[in-house]
Amino acid sequence: MPALIMQLQCRLAYQVCQKWLKDRKGRQLSDDDIQHYQRIVVALQQTIKLMHKIDQAIPGFPIQ
């Protein structure tokens, strides 16, 4: 996977996490909030892994 694509994926994942936290700035997070945030992080990690697998399975994307 090209480094540029990897950087983009990491940046997008970071932006999602940053936005979620920013929307809750100034208030204490509940246990449910923290658990939800952890699920978001895991979902993003799994999405990036799946994207890597797809890129490996289809090396010449877009398909011509």
What would the pLDDT profile of 15-50 be if each residue is shown by its tens digit? 988 999 999 999 999 999 999 999 998 998 888 888
Q: Which candidate, 11, 5, 9, 14, places its Cα nearest to that of 40?
A: 14
Tokens 């994307």 locate to 61
Tokens 């945030």 locate to 37
**The pTM of the whole model exceeds 0.85:** no
Tokens 């895991």 locate to 42
Q: Which candidate, 51, 53, 31, 33, places its Cα nearest to that of 43?
A: 51
pLDDT at 8 over 90: no
For residue 58, give the 3-state DSSP assignment.
coil
